Structures are given as structure tokens and as C-alpha cells.
Amino acid sequence: MPKTIRKHIINQMKTEFRAISENERLSRAMICAMIAQLDVTVEELADVRCAISEAVTNAVVHAYRGTHSAVGSADITGDTFDASRNTVYILTTLYDDRSVKIIIRDRGCGIPDIRRAMEPLYTTDTTGERSGMGFAIMQSFMDTVKVKSAHGKGTTVELRKKFAPAGSASAAAMTEEPVTDAEDVTEEESSAGQEDIA
């Protein structure tokens, strides 16, 4: 029987924000700043940024179509905003095996046919502004993409990625340029906590 290795949570962040396009940039910045703790490469961060961008944009553009007239408290502009119906929720979890799980959830209209929605070039956008490549892009940059949805209750997208071993990029760079004086080279090691976050 194969031995199961249990991975431990080393950090976790939960956030929520209004489903407006300006917050797509905010979500990328927050999540990538957190992932940087794992000492990932620039290329790995770029992959995650792209996947997050697509997932959050889907929630902003598609999830809350026609819900802006929902009854709720008025904000300073006088517009109504029902926080329970016009919000994107994100849970980002870092693990000690150098992997990340990002859950992006909305409480919008839901996806009637997930399999069809995940087909490249399929879109419900009638304006011609959307390419229908969101899920395909997420799948190309992440190890796994799981989607759950219920009509009128919202959609949950789970993104997972495991990063290369720490220092593999810097080790490759060191072999490309020979070091003339070994005393000038220093190594730093960092250790992360092994405790689960409650």
C-alpha cells in the first residue's frame, strides 16, 4: 500500500471584494505577493497571474449579469450594492510541498453547462468583447482547474499549481556563469512552519 504524504498549510489568506473590473488587478497583486513567499520564479508567478486574471474576470463579467438592480444598501454614489450578491470571494492556501490552491467563488447566476463553458471559444457574451478562452487559459497555466456551479447560486473555480523546487532557477543561473571566487557566493536557507492554520 503506497504511503500517503500529508501536506501542511504554511499560510492562508481569505479576501472578498466587490465584483468590479478594477479589483481584478488587486486580486492578482495580492495573491502573487503571497505566493512570492515560496521563492517561485518570475515565469511561475506570471502563469498564476494570468490564471487568476481569467478566473476573477469571469466572475466580474459573467456572474452578476443583471444583478446590479438587486435590493441592498446604498453606497456613497446612491447605487445599491447587495454585498452577498455582488462579491467575489478568494481563498488562497500555500502548502509546505511548494504548492498553492486558489479558490475563487461568486454568488452569481451560475453556469448552466460547465462542460460547454470550458470549451475553447465558447462564450455567452453577446457584445463580441470576450473570446471564450478563459477556462482554456486557466488550464494551460495551472496544474488543475475544477469548476462547480449551481444555477442562481454561483460558481466556484479551484486552481492548483505545484512549483519547482526552491532555488532550481538560481542554481541554473549559477551554472551558466562561472564563479571566479567561491568565497563571494553565499546561500540562504529559509524554513517554513509546519503547523496547520485553523
How far CA 135 is from CA of 56, 88, 120, 145, 158, in Å, comes to: 11, 17, 7, 8, 11
DSSP, residue by residue, 152-188: TTEEEEEEEEEPPPTTHHHHHHHHHS--S-GGG----
Q: Annotated catalytic, 28?
A: no
**Pair 80, 176: CB distance under 8 Å:** no
Q: Of 28, 54, 98, 105, which residue is the catalytic one?
A: 54
Q: Annotated catalytic, 116?
A: no
Cell numbers for 177, please give them.
556563469
Q: Of 58, 85, 105, 107, which residue is the catalytic one?
A: 58
**Pair 91, 158: CB distance under 8 Å:** no
Which residue type does 29 have?
A: A
Q: Of 18, 130, 158, 160, which residue is the catalytic one?
A: 130
Q: Annotated catalytic, 130?
A: yes
Catalytic residues: 54, 58, 130
